[in-house]
Structure 1
Amino acid sequence: MAMTALIIDDEELAREELKYLLDTTDVEVLAQGTNGIEAVDLIRTHQPDVVFLDVQMPGLDGFAVLKKLLEHGDGEHLPQIIFATAFDQYAVKAFDVNAIDYLLKPFDKARVLQALERARQRLQEVHSHDDSAVKHGDLSGDIRIGALLKLIEQQQQPQRHSGKIVLQAQSRLLLIDQKDICFASIDEGVITVVTPTLEGQSKCRTLEELLDLLDPSIFWRAHRSYVVNINHIKEVVPWFKSSYQLRMDDKKQTEIPVSRAQTRRLRELFKL
């Protein structure tokens, strides 16, 4: 059975990679999108069989896309959703409600084919169930949609203050203990996280998003571009016009400015 599909991912290389793999199958890619807002519009417009949906995207993330569709009455036309993610933390549960599956990046062809086969089987089940429901007035479809919405809400609960943070260093994904983080900085939309021994990039889009994962008792937004672990401050350096800089205990002994708005907080922290 031929299937139609959408690819929604903010990373162009990921879209190209997945499109290349799908072109070797009987799946017709109807359109591609780059964010959650586009995802909602494209799903409503094309009503595809399958959607390959990135978890982390600007605007609406993958979970929020599904929730928006369900809350606006699109549940009965919901396609088979295959989540795509670079991080195992989003794939701990296989989303086994209403044909949810997941793929880890970089994509593996065998795994893509497996997900497609699963989607194909679930489509056949849905079609046969719909025929039976029309005859017998079965409401279990509504129950499944409700269960899916509940699962999405559970997955959207912030994973606050978990022990580890995922960093990408070259081609590796590393799990770093929060206590080992010296500081994080953002430059042109890229968040760099530094420990005493290494540095890598976070997939978080903003420092606010990263802070949601960190323990507020030890992490502090010292500047609009910096979050610091107060346990890794080596020295507080008086600076120009009653301002301060923080010298951290990383290899480079990085000096981080304290914004004027945060100077009072600094004085409270260290009784200056």
Structure 2
Amino acid sequence: MRALIVDDERLARNELRSLLAQHPQIEIVGEAENAHQALEQIQALAPELLFLDIQMPGKNGFELLEELGPGPEVIFVTAYDQYALRAFEASALDYLLKPVDPARLSQALSKLNLEREQPDAAAPLALSEKVFLREDERCWFVRLQDISAFESIGNYSRVYFDGHKPLIRRSLNQLEARLPEQYFFRASRQFIVNLDHILDIETAVNGNIEARLRSGIAVEMSRRQSLAFRALKSL
């Protein structure tokens, strides 16, 4: 798996490189010292995984992800533990504290392997197909066209339909691989929305598009996906 290390400290990058040498399944294709360099490297090298610091000069790791939109899997590597909840909300695969413990790194990479081994290579579902959803003791058969949005909650996803919002044990990346792209749009790292369920849109103060859905939720698109949505809808 192709990986990019993003950290403003050279010693931290070197230490992570040394630890990753014990994991031959990870190919380090590049390094970046800040968010600007990281964006350039991501576009040029197309990594599948980011080892991402949070506190960096200029934009921090979270701001990089907001600008990036959908993209590589992310493992945060930071000296600060107060960002763990926010990292979870940003759909990070894991959150490692410096100095990185080799056993914790192995644990994080095993999550990645489990994620990639899920049998999601099947063809996209048809819009009229029904999908089976289960949360605890409740079950639903729901037509795909009736689902307004999917929201990432770590390795889980919340599904919005007909006033319900169960939490299912599937990541947003896994779901995206099965959804028909002409109807479902990846609005950000946190959301996939059903284009037919968008009631109206407006421009947020930061210039990003905010869409209001039939389910009642408002979804702010990332900067990159706002541009893609405008191109898609000729706005």
TM-score (norm: length of structure 2): 0.52
Q: Which has the higher contact order (CA 8 A, sep 6+)?
A: 2
Report the Cα distance in structure 2 between the residues aligned to 1:147 and 1:40, rounded to whole angstroms: 15
Q: Contact 1:80 / 1:123 at 8 angstroms: preserved in 2?
A: no
Residue 27 of structure 2 corresponds to 28
What corresponds to 1:134 in structure 2? 124
How far residue 80 of structure 1 moved from its aligned partner, in angstroms, is: 0.8
Q: For the residues of structure 2 that align with 1:146 and 1:94, how far apart are their CA atoms?
A: 15
1:88 lines up with 2:88 in the alignment: no
After superposition, give the CA deviation of every residue in 1:208-251 in whole Å (9 maximum; x if it has no partner).
xxxxxxxxxxxxxxxxxxxxxxxxxxxxxxxxxxxxxxxxxxxx
Structure-2 separation of matches of 1:40 and 1:9: 13
5+ residue gaps, structure 2, are 128-143, 151-175, 177-183, 193-235
Give the CA deviation at 1:111.
0.6
Cα RMSD of the aligned pairs, angstroms, is 2.7
Query: Cα deviation per residue 1:29-74 (whole Å; 9 max; x = unaligned)?
Result: 100110011111111221222110001111221111111111xxxx
> Aligned partners of 1:96 and 1:123: how far apart in 2?
20
Aligned equivalents of 1:11 and 1:124: distance in 2? 33
Matched residue, 1:47: 46
2:110 is paired with a residue whose SS is helix
2:63 maps to: 64
Deviation at 1:149, TM superposition (A): 6.3
1:148 corresponds to: 190
Q: The residue matched to 1:41 in structure 2 has which SS?
A: helix
Contact 2:93/2:108, CA 8 A, preserved across alignment:
no
User: Is 2:80–2:97's contact at 8 Å kept on the other side of the alignment?
Assistant: yes
Cα–Cα, structure 1 residues 36 and 110, in superposed 2: closer, same or farther, change >3 Å? same
* Deviation (angstroms), 1:144: 7.3
Gaps of 5+ in 1: 151-272
Match of 1:10 among 8, 11, 18: 8
Helix, strand or coil: the match of 2:5?
A: strand
Contact 1:36/1:62 (<8 A) preserved: yes
Task: Report deviation, 1:88.
Answer: 0.8
Which one has the bigger helix percentage? 1
- AA aligned to 1:19 is R
Change (3 A) 1:61 1:93: closer
User: Which residue identity does 1:40 align to in structure 2?
Assistant: L
The aligned amino acid for 2:190 is L
Within-5 A mapping of 1:169-180: none
Residue 55 of structure 1 aligns with an amino acid whose one-letter code is I
Partner SS for 1:21: helix
Aligned length: 139
Q: TM-score, normalised by structure 1?
A: 0.46
Bigger Cα Rg: 1
Residues 192-231 of structure 1: matches in 2 within 5 Å?
Answer: none
